[in-house]
Amino acid sequence: MKSTCPVCDAQVTLPKNTEESEIISCSDCHTRLVVSSLKDNNATLQEAPKVEEDWGE
Amino acid sequence: MIKIGLLHTTIRGDEKLIIEAARKKSIKIKLIDVREEIFNRKTYQCNFDVALQRCVSTVKGNNATHFFESIGIKVINNSSVAAICEDKFVTSLALQKANIPTPDFAMVFNSTQAVKAIKKMGGFPVVIKPPLGSWGRLLAKINDIDALEAILEHKDVLGSPQQKSFYIQQYIKKAGRDIRAFVIDGQTICAIYRDSLHWITNTARGGVTSNCPVTREIADISKKASDAVGDGILSTDIFETNDGLQINEINHTTEFKNSEKPTKTSISGAILDYCVKVVKNL
């Protein structure tokens, strides 16, 4: 499955088992991206949210 | 077939491992991005047996946990466990109350009291941590009074109200590593060493993981720590000291993606097995 990086327009290849809300990196510009939707083998990517104060384990 | 509701925000490598393990075990997983939900008791339709709380956001995870508990869905880990483990001060209190070895600590709200507390704890260095926080962020090793005054003034002026509660912990000199033990239902299933040249050993800060054999001492102290906070799916962060092991912190939405390989243990599989066990005992 392929999609487009919203930052640099590079083509991003997604692994088969990709899930919605998963964080990935663009191999060209290394921006952290989130898979915002995944429908009918089409993935939409957005810039990942920045780490917030309450994030963690 | 048992269906687990996996409560999440962003999907990390850890959640991917859980999803993959569920596929292998033929366990149904319903992914619930809590950011997209409407938690209204009057309208919510729930179609799973148990919720596994895996939100990276503590606040959103807590709200989701309280909601599902309010409609009678068991959440792993439950809100009582989360309330203790998410707060380092509350965790330390629970550990000390249960007579479990843990570094000395104090909570103060101004620099005068901080100086007095540090004196009573044996002096510098100490560590100041945000009571709520993770991944080794905003930890400060305070070596002297000058550093103490600077850090506390910055927190006072720049920090949120939570940052103005000063949790001070005795600094424990580590031999370049600490231990993280994965504890499910009181049983330590595996453990890792986290090695780092830096005094902060979190893997999020570059700590390198390797297998740590689970000794009886590790299993015993982890069981006691798990009991002290209410059990569930936990990980204990352990210091090795000349006086034996000490529990530093306990994590209630533990990350484990870097730990399955060195320990050769399916932590994700064990998490699911525990969820199934909980459902069967409902």
> Is position B242 within any domain?
yes
Optimal mutation site among A24, A35, A54, interface B, most CBs of chain B within 10 A: A54
State residue A51's pLDDT score. 86
Residue A1 has pLDDT above 90, yes or no: no
In A, minimum Cα distance to B34 occurs at: A21
Residue A34 has pLDDT above 90, yes or no: yes
Q: What φ, ψ does residue A19 adopt, rounded to 5°? A: -115, 155
Cα(B255)–Cα(B19) distance, rounded to whole angstroms?
14
**Domain covering A2-47: architecture:** Single Sheet (2.20)
B60: containing domain:
3-76
State residue A35's pLDDT score. 95
> Is position B262 within any domain?
no
State whether B61 and B31 are in the same domain.
Answer: yes
Taking an 8 Å cut-off on Cβ atoms, the answer to whether B10 and A17 are in contact is no
SS3 B168: strand
State residue B205's pLDDT score. 79
In A, minimum Cα distance to B250 occurs at: A57
> Is position B88 within any domain?
no
- Residue carrying structure tokens 């799916």: B233
State whether B210 and B246 are in the same domain.
Answer: yes
Rounded mean pLDDT for each run of 10 residues along chain B, 282 residues in total:
95 95 96 96 96 97 98 98 97 98 97 95 96 88 96 89 92 92 98 92 86 98 98 97 96 96 98 97 90
Sign of CA dihedral A5, A8, A9, A13: negative
State residue B220's pLDDT score. 98
Residue A15 forms contact with B (CB below 8 Å): no
**Residues counted in chain B:** 282
State whether B213 and B180 are in the same domain.
Answer: yes
User: What angle do helix axes B267-280 and B13-25 make, rounded to 10 degrees?
Assistant: 60
State whether B182 and B224 are in the same domain.
Answer: yes
Q: Closest approach of chain A CAs to the CA of B135, in angstroms?
A: 6
User: What angle do helix axes B111-120 and B145-158 make, rounded to 10 degrees?
Assistant: 140
> Is position B279 within any domain?
no
Optimal mutation site among B19, B56, B62, interface A, most CBs of chain A within 10 A: B56
Nearest to A33 by CA among B152, B250, B16, A44: A44
What does DSSP assign to residue B6?
E
Q: Which two tokens stand for residue A17?
A: 């088992």
Of B153, B170, B187, at which residue does a domain stop?
B170
**Domain ranges for chain A:** 2-47
Optimal mutation site among B58, B62, B132, interface A, most CBs of chain A within 10 A: B58
State residue B203's pLDDT score. 81
Nearest to B58 by CA among A38, A53, A16: A53
In A, minimum Cα distance to B162 occurs at: A53
Name every residue in B having a CB less than 8 A away from some CB of A: 8-12, 15-16, 19-20, 31, 33, 56-59, 132-135, 137, 160, 235, 251-255
The per-residue pLDDT of chain A, averaged, comes to 91
Q: Sort out which chain B residues have CB atoms less than 8 A from A55's CB and list them.
A: 56-58, 134-135
**Cβ contact B109:B162 at 8 Å:** no
> Is position B130 within any domain?
yes
Cα(B251)–Cα(B91) distance, rounded to whole angstroms?
10
Bridge partner residues of B168 (DSSP): B106, B128
The Cβ of residue B19 has, within 10 Å, a number of other Cβ atoms equal to 20
B48: domain CATH number?
3.40.50.20
State whether B116 and B136 are in the same domain.
Answer: yes
Q: Which two tokens stand for residue A25?
A: 């990196």
Taking an 8 Å cut-off on Cβ atoms, the answer to whether A56 and B58 are in contact is yes
State residue B29's pLDDT score. 97
Whether complex ipTM tops 0.85: no
User: What angle do helix axes B88-97 and B216-229 make, rounded to 10 degrees?
Assistant: 110
Taking an 8 Å cut-off on Cβ atoms, the answer to whether A19 and B31 are in contact is yes
State whether B150 and B187 are in the same domain.
Answer: no
Taking an 8 Å cut-off on Cβ atoms, the answer to whether B11 and A55 are in contact is no
> Is position B7 within any domain?
yes
Nearest to B185 by CA among B221, B242, B223: B223
State residue B159's pLDDT score. 83
State whether B187 and B198 are in the same domain.
Answer: yes
Cα(B16)–Cα(A18) distance, rounded to whole angstroms?
9
Residue A16 forms contact with B (CB below 8 Å): no
Number of domains in chain B: 3
